[in-house]
Structure 1
Amino acid sequence: MTGDLIVHRAGPGITVQDLGREGCLAHGLSRGGAADPSALAQGAALLNQAPSLAALEIAGAGMEVSATRATWIALTGAPMRAHLADKRLIWNASHCLPPGERLRLGPMESGHYAYLHVAGGIDVPMVVGGRGTHLASGIGAALEDGATLPVGKDPLPDRNPSRLPDDPRFDGGRIRFLEGPQTRLFPDDVLARFLATEFTRTAWGNRQGVKLGQDGDGFRPQDGLNLLSEVISPGDIQITGDGTPYVLGPECQTIGGYPRIGTVLPQDLPRVMQATSGAPLRFDLVTLEEALSDYSTPKNLVPGFRRRITPLVRNPHDIVDLLSYNFISGVTAGRDLDEEEPRA
């Protein structure tokens, strides 16, 4: 059985996102997709489905939704305050959303991009090989109040709630990057200073990229104003004319002329995009072999997340769909019931 997700209230910057569109760069369309693909893999693990299914990406402000049928959801990415009726829901977990009950999300507690997944995926039409919104190219649009989103069929409606351990990837930290064709345009002392600088993730950022803040002089290359425009990609660290670094995001432009000091590894880019404003960031230059040593696609991340899943036990008094659980002689084993304590 399929159903719809009703958006009663939508803050700015809420879009449908998937893993992006591959093979469109030559046509002037960047990959796009979720700013945090690992969060899509976590949602897929919690709902036992493919990470390619579309979810809602919530940037900053919250939202309020309901479903026309009982719908399993998962909440991943940057943690937000989540309430179903008057009950606080645990983040990084799956829950059952009863028909007509309103789920309220917001405000964000850390990070920048939260994800609301539904079992069966957000089943909007495919456009240019993907379901995700690409604001820069005009594919789709941010959600507005009153939007109705079709939900795909849930192949496993009889499931129990589950959770994943909290993932502290919102505090910045050390970010690895590779040399690029323009890295050696930067004098050795400038590159060394870049590696020694503690940057901050500024509040200036969106799906196209993130501005880095730092004290002191900028990072200017030699002959940086004489470069021809060429292909750029997500993760590139562009240096603007005043020497300010920007890390490009999934919806970056496809061509540009600013020099690039290197490219952030795909597995580290979500940590830049998700770093809470003001979080420290340091950059480490690594080899290709080091970069490949722990690289995994979102699809390949899912099995590892599944191994870390534990039951989300709840208090029977608080379970609105209690009669939907499997009972034997009127009792349960207790593993599918746990208590969700409200967080302060």
Structure 2
Amino acid sequence: MIEVVRPGPLATVQDLGRPGHAHLGVPRSGAADERSFRLANRLLGNADDAAAVELTLGGAAFRFDRAAWIAVTGAPAPLTIGGRAYGANAPCPVPAGGLVELGLPSGGLRTYLAVRGGLDIEPVLGSRSTDLLSGLGPGPLAAGDRLPVGRSRGDITVDVAPVGPLPAEPVLRILPGPRDDWFTPDVIAVLCAQPYEVTADSNRVGVRLDGAKLLRTREGELGSEGMVTGALQVPPSGLPIIFLADHPTTGGYPVVAVLAASDVPLAAQLRPGGRVRFRPAG
């Protein structure tokens, strides 16, 4: 068992989500930065979809009843085990009774803490992920929660995985549409001309941006239609929202562009107050 001593600003259990249920109105959810999540599991010999903890802005502490192996990836947060500093992106041993603490990341937003064997939480609709929009899955972690650990099935075969630093001002590639024709002809140029600032209203549902407004040429309402992760939806304010893991399955505002799938993990690491740029893909 792992005891949550301190959850930090937000800690949730995540795996790779609930794909295949969007036609029933069930969002996929899952790890916001899927690339970092998969890496944490692979470092420990876990299956890619083994449940782990997703931390927002670190500040968490966990007590391990038994000896274990962990890996920390994503936003680079200071890591100590029993008061001793350890590095990220590498398997780390935790002794029985050991206290694992993570500080504030130096950059980025979301840090992943995986344990060998994965977290053995009861699945809901085939997933152990916390979905903050729909309320499916376990609730956000709180002090005193106890997390069961599953049985390890794979071997640890690497010592460390070199990972480059997160960019200070990410540039996200976009594909136009499907509703770019609802906007002025220069809308993509406007979107890519200058950086946007990430606002404090951002969360796992979406990254809200402040900057140049995207002007519509077509008035009226848009019927609700399917939404995908990475969609840039534009509400009446004209300021785009990047949909992340907990986004709704449908929406009624036009989508001006969609992120390249491989850039979604970068969007998941955008911190409020930071800046981001867009450029056309290809």
Question: How does 1:186-265 map onto structure 2 within 5 Å?
Answer: 186-214=183-211, 216=212, 218-265=213-260
From 30, 37, 51, the equivalent of 2:34 is: 37
Q: Count the aligned residue pairs.
A: 281
From 252, 275, 278, the equivalent of 1:280 is: 275
From 263, 266, 273, the equivalent of 1:268 is: 263
Distance in 1 (CA, whole Å) between partners of 2:2 and 2:15 is: 17
2:2 counterpart of 1:15: no
* Secondary structure of the corresponding residue to residue 163 of structure 1: coil
Shift of 1:12: 3.2
Could you list the runs of 5+ residues in structure 2 that have no partner in the other structure? none
Instruction: Tell me the TM-score normalised to structure 2 length.
Output: 0.93
2:76 counterpart of 1:79: yes
What is the match of residue 125 of structure 2?
128
Shift of 1:192: 1.8
Read off the aligned partner of 2:101 and give its amino acid letter.
Answer: R
Shift of 1:182: 0.4
* Secondary structure of the corresponding residue to residue 268 of structure 2: helix
Shift of 1:61: 4.0
From 138, 144, 147, the equivalent of 1:146 is: 144
Answer 1 or 2: which has greater helix percent.
1
Distance in 2 (CA, whole Å) between partners of 1:19 and 1:192 is: 34
| Paired residues of 2:117 and 2:153 also in contact (CA < 8 A) | yes
Identity of aligned residues (%): 34
Question: How does 1:71-110 map onto structure 2 within 5 Å?
Answer: 71-110=68-107
From 60, 81, 104, the equivalent of 2:57 is: 60
Q: CA 1:11–1:249 in structure 2 vs 1: closer, same or farther (change >3 Å)?
A: same
From 116, 120, 133, the equivalent of 1:119 is: 116
Distance in 1 (CA, whole Å) between partners of 2:12 and 2:150 is: 17
RMSD of equivalent CA atoms: 1.8
Structure 1 window deviating more from structure 2 (117-126 vs 61-70): it is 61-70
Write out per-residue CA displacement over residues 165-187 of structure 1, whole angstroms, 9 at most, x where no aligned residue.
Answer: 23323533221122222012222
Q: CA 1:156–1:231 in structure 2 vs 1: closer, same or farther (change >3 Å)?
A: closer
Read off the aligned partner of 1:149 and give its amino acid letter.
Answer: L
Q: CA 1:279–1:150 in structure 2 vs 1: closer, same or farther (change >3 Å)?
A: same
| Paired residues of 2:45 and 2:157 also in contact (CA < 8 A) | no
What is the match of residue 182 of structure 2?
185
